[in-house]
Every structure is written in C-alpha cells, then in structure tokens.
Amino acid sequence: MATKNGGFVALLLLLSFLLSSPLPARCDAPLPVNVWPKPTSMSWAEPHMAVRVSSSFHVVAPSGNAHLLSAARRYAALLLAERYRPLVTPAVNVTAGGAGAGAAGRGAELGYLTLAVSDLHAPLQHGVDESYALEILPAGAAATVTAATAWGAMRGLETFSQLAWWCGRERAVLVAAGVRVEDRPLYPHRGLMLDTGRTYFPVADILRTIDAMAANKMNVFHWHITDSQSFPLELPSEPALAEKGSYGDGMRYTVDDVKLIVDFAMNRGVRVVPEIDTPGHTASWAGAYPELVSCAGEFWLPDASDWPSRLAAEPGAGQLNPLEPKTYQVMSNVINDVTSLFPDGFYHAGADEVTPGCWNADPSIQRYLARGGTLSRLLEKFVGAAHPLIVSRNRTAVYWEDVLLDQAVNVTASAIPPETTILQTWNNGGNNTRLIVRAGYRAIVSSASFYYLDCGHGDFAGNDSAYDDPRSDYGTSGGSWCGPYKTWQRVYDYDVAGGLTAEEARLVVGGEVAMWTEQVDAAVLDGRVWPRASAMAEALWSGNRDATGRKRYAEATDRLTDWRHRMVGRGVRAEPIQPLWCRNRPGMCNLVRRRRSATGVGDSGGAAEAEDGGGRSTGLGDSGGGAARRRRKTAAAARRASETAAAGPRDGRRRQRWPGGSCSKTTTAPSGRRIGQGQHTPTMAMVNEVVAMRLAAMDAEGTMGV
C-alpha cells in the first residue's frame, strides 16, 4: 500500500517538474492537416483553429448544374459519415464560433459551405478551368469555395473534405478554420487507363475506381474497352461484336451501363474517354466477322526462336484487314455508336502494335504486297479512312505513338493532322515524347518505364524455359517485359516534360498511368492501382518538387501514407506503403533525418534525397549514371547520418501524447501558445486531468483511501 501511495506522490512530483520543463516538440510535419494532391498554395493561420461541423451541415450550391448539385449533396453526406481519425492529430483549439446554429452547450458550429461559381454551363472537356479558392474564416465564421466552373468547385469540395477529421473527444467532425487555399492543376490531362478487354471488371469496380480518381483530382478515365481477348461493349448497330466477342452473357457492358458510368463520372468531374483499339488487337472481332480479321485463331508465336515472325504481341492473334471493303462499314458503325454513347471530345483509336507477321500471313495481303504495296501504306489506308470518320463526329482522335513512330509499320503525318490528333507515348521514356512534340503533336505521356502499373509481376506465358535457370531472375525483370515493379516513388519522380524546351513542353497535355490487366482482376485491382496512381495525381496537379526545386520524397511519403489510410476508409483497398508504426511517427522512417527550418516546419523532404558534391539532386529520372548516382547518394546519406549522430538528440523525435481521445488538446496555455505545438508548458488543467485519470485507475484497483 505504501508503494502505491508512493507511486502517486511520485506522479505528482513528476507533474510539478513538467510545469517547469518544456515538452518535447512534435515530429515536424509540413502541415498538421493533409490534402492530397498538395494544393498550389495553402495557409492555416496561427494559432491553428478548428470548428465543429453541425450534424445538419449542408453545401449551398447554385442551381443550374445538376452535376454540381449532385456533388454538393455527396460531399455533405461524406463529411458527416466519414470517420477519418488521424493517428497523429492536429494540435488545435476548437473555436466557439461558426456559421450556422450550434447545439446547446456546444457552442456554434459550421452549418454550411457556400459555393460561388462564375460559369455554371462550362462543359466538362479538355482544358476546362479547374481552379478554385477555398476559404474557411478564423473561428469558422464562414466557409466558401469560389471557382470559375462547376468542375473547379468540385475540386474545392474534395479539398474541403480532406480538411476535416473525426474527433472522439469532441464527439464531432472538426474542420480546420483560418484556412486559405488557392489551387489549380499544372496539367489539364491527369488520367488512368483501365483495360477491360483482357479482363472484365464489374460496373461497381469501375465506379469505385472513378470515385477514387475524383478524390485524387484526376480527371480522365481512359477506358480501354476492347482488345483481342474480348469485345465486351454492346453496340446497337453491331450487336454481334459483343454477342460473339465477349467472355459471356454476364461480362458485357450494356448501353445503360455506359450511361451510368458516364453520368457517375460527370458528377465527379471525370471525363470518360473510350478506346476501341484498331486495326491491331482485334482478334475478338472474328467471332462476328471472320472475313475481316487476318490470322484470327492462329497460334500467336509460330516459332519461339524467331520473335520477328510472331503474329501478335501476345496471345490472341488477329488484325483487321484494310483490304476488305466491309471493314470500313463496320468501323463506321462502331465509331458512330461509340461517339453517341460517350460525349467526351476525345476518341481513342488505338493503332498500336500492328504486327507485320499477321498481315504477312494473310493471302489477300500477300497479293497486295506482291503488287508493290507496303504494310505502312496498308496501315495508312486504314487510318486515312477512319480518321475523317472520327473528326466528322466532332472528336479529337487519340492514337498510341506506334502509329507514327513504329519502325516497321507507320503512317505519314498527312494521315493524322496534328490539329485533330493527340499521340500517347509509352516507349523509350522521354525520347519518344520529344519526337512527338517536335513533330508538332500534342502528347499524353504514359511511359512504360514509369507509368505502367502492371509491370514487375512476371510473365503470364506458360512453359518458358527461361524460368528454369536458377542463376538469375530472368535478367532481374522477373519475366516482365517492363519490369521491375514501378514503385510509387518511381511514379512520383517522373517529369512528363523533362528535357523539353519551354515551347515543346507546352504540347505535353499531361499523363496517364496504365493498368493493363493480363494479371489483374477485380480481386486485386485497387491494390495494383492505389496509391501509386495517387503519386502521379500529385505530380501532375502541383508537381513533385518543393519551392526550392528539390524532389519532396520524404514529405510526400508521410502524406501519402496518411492519404492511403483515408482512401481505405472510403472503401478503396489501396496497398500500404509503410508500416503503421511509420504513419504514427511522421519523419521517423526517413533514411536521413529532416532538418528543421526557421519556422519549425520540416524542409519538405528535400533532405531525404541525397545530393552529390555540388548539391545537385540525384533522384530518379530518365538519365543514365545510375551506379555513380547510387554511390554518391549512399556516401551523402552516411555523411549526414554521421553529422546527425555527432550533433546529438534534437527536439522533435517524439510527439508527447497527452490524454484527450482522438483529437489534440484544445486548452490554451496562459502564454497563449497551445500544448502539442513546439515547446510549451503544460497547464494546470492538464495536470488535473492526468491526476483525475490516475485517481480513477486507483479507484478501480480498490486502493483509494489507503
């Protein structure tokens, strides 16, 4: 008993000591709240304040845009339903002020968010203004999103939702107050390509993917609908294509499915760009029209030792025959139906990987070649007929880069005029992007070296003897032609306009991560896409560098770990990028410890990226010199680690966690500074709270009064 009394006395002595001793500083996070992608400009007035959100919270939106009204209702419901609890909570004072009536005894609460939009009728199209400003006044007196268009207002709504969190102590949703955000994207095209030709995905998976895209401020869902393996899209004018080309009755997208997906995306400011890949990748057309498809049904690789003789880039051989007149009748029907179903101004026509072996094996094409024809002229005949059909439907035609850059089969620029054409790159990193923009074309960047999310999972081809060699991992690629796996850091690192002049860079409209699905289905889709696609989303929205021009890896790691946690809470099965221990201790899992700036805020992660002797960034990129760069990076990291150790411990290694549930202490210290922010003295209220907790514990133990 004496021991227990002595322990309680010791506790009081400890608390007395704390009254005269500074608390350890928090681990320095760049901002106590996390918005992904990082806004162009964001400030949160000191001292940090938060306001309770009323249980009757709503968004006041102007009438005149049904999609914006839908978004307003959705975000109001999300704010009240989401129970996001940051493990490292913002240190804030909960204000007694707010817009809207407050509950008795709880002080005023934020009752509404106002949307002010200049042009409610601006269509969702490439290049639409997505800028916005968000202001939540100090004390939560008012909250407003101002935007030029409804689509910019939607981006502001998403940012507002990420400024809120659930506070268990307050039993309320809190939102940061005294916040000012001014934001706009760097690139107008920030997309995700999903392949439903190789693997069918239920509509629910597509909708969840689009919803996650909107949360990441991505605005283009590139739907690679068909491929050699299946034709899952039902078309009114060509019903046989899906009837005989899909995987089965339950694996088709109906007209109503498409309308649902397009409208769902519009309500989130996401464009849906359809792709019907032609003339290659069309084996699935042969069920309905065998006479139109060359080499259909043939084994794709007649001679495994002779790769140039292949009939297709992968299993599923078949290409449309441009010499068959009916090819163009069917193509016209397909283009008309697809452009009627999908209102977007882009139509992706594919035109990649046209394989010489397939056309060379077709008797009619053999006769054409014998008369002096060439495969490139044959492709130009097809594209020259299809391109005007696309343009006549008031669409910009998008093609994969192969149509112009493939060495064996390509077209001349006259068949694809730059003013009506965009080319999508995927080979040779920035080199092909440079070739495309120098030819005068706009470019969408999907470099396989950075943005292909399917890479690094081995090959799906069977009986490959290369796997029998235990001495190597298939040349370190694990059998994946584009291996190794593209980590989120690799995705985040890529500069889509890197190495271009300012004039050339203006032709880069943005980028897309690509989810090819040879080894992906609904069971693993979310984890393969997220949060790696989030990395590209930020790089294309606000960039991947801090104000000094350095890559912000460490700061981005902490924020992406937290953002992934929030996405999971919203129903997206995103894969983790760090242990939970790291999320609870921002900055503690870095290779090199961040130095504190004069403001007490970290250096945005720049120190986590090692430098060479000249102070130049040595992050990942398209350039060579990897081995030397790694040696310099390792040496610099070791040098900094040594300097850190020599300097001794610093404040900020550990955040003092005072009792108070899932939100930080809201009491203001006599000095006017808040507990949990820098070095502050605990108040007597905090001492009393700890003592009360200890007394309650002793009461439970039956030791009170002893």
Residues belonging to the active site: 353
Residue 488 CB neighbours (<10 A): 20
Q: How far apart are the first and last CA of the chain?
A: 7
317 vs 294: CA distance, rounded Å: 8
Burial of 473 (0-12, 13-18, 19+ CB in 10 A): middle
The two tokens of residue 467 are: 């796997």
The three-state secondary structure class of 491 is helix
Residue in the structure block whose two tokens are 């994207």: 185
Residues 455 and 485: beta-carbon distance below 8 Å: yes
Q: Which DSSP symbol is given to 647?
A: H
The two tokens of residue 460 are: 């799906």
Residues 438 and 504: beta-carbon distance below 8 Å: yes
Task: Find residue 173's DSSP bridge partners.
Answer: 166
Q: Which of 183, 179, 85, 68 is nearest to 124 (CA)?
A: 68
The three-state secondary structure class of 115 is strand
DSSP-derived pairing of the beta strands 346-350 and 271-278: parallel
Reported as type and span, the H/E element at residue 582 is: helix 580-583
The three-state secondary structure class of 35 is coil
**Rounded (to 5) percent helix, strand, coil in the chain:** 35, 15, 45
Q: Which of 272, 279, 413, 443 is nearest to 345 (CA)?
A: 272
Q: How far is residue 622 CA from its own chain's centroid?
A: 21
Phi and psi angles of residue 114, each rounded to the nearest 5 degrees, phi first: -100, 135
Rg (CA), the chain: 29
Residue in the structure block whose two tokens are 């190495």: 499
Task: Find residue 273's DSSP bridge partners.
Answer: 222
Residues 513 and 487: beta-carbon distance below 8 Å: no
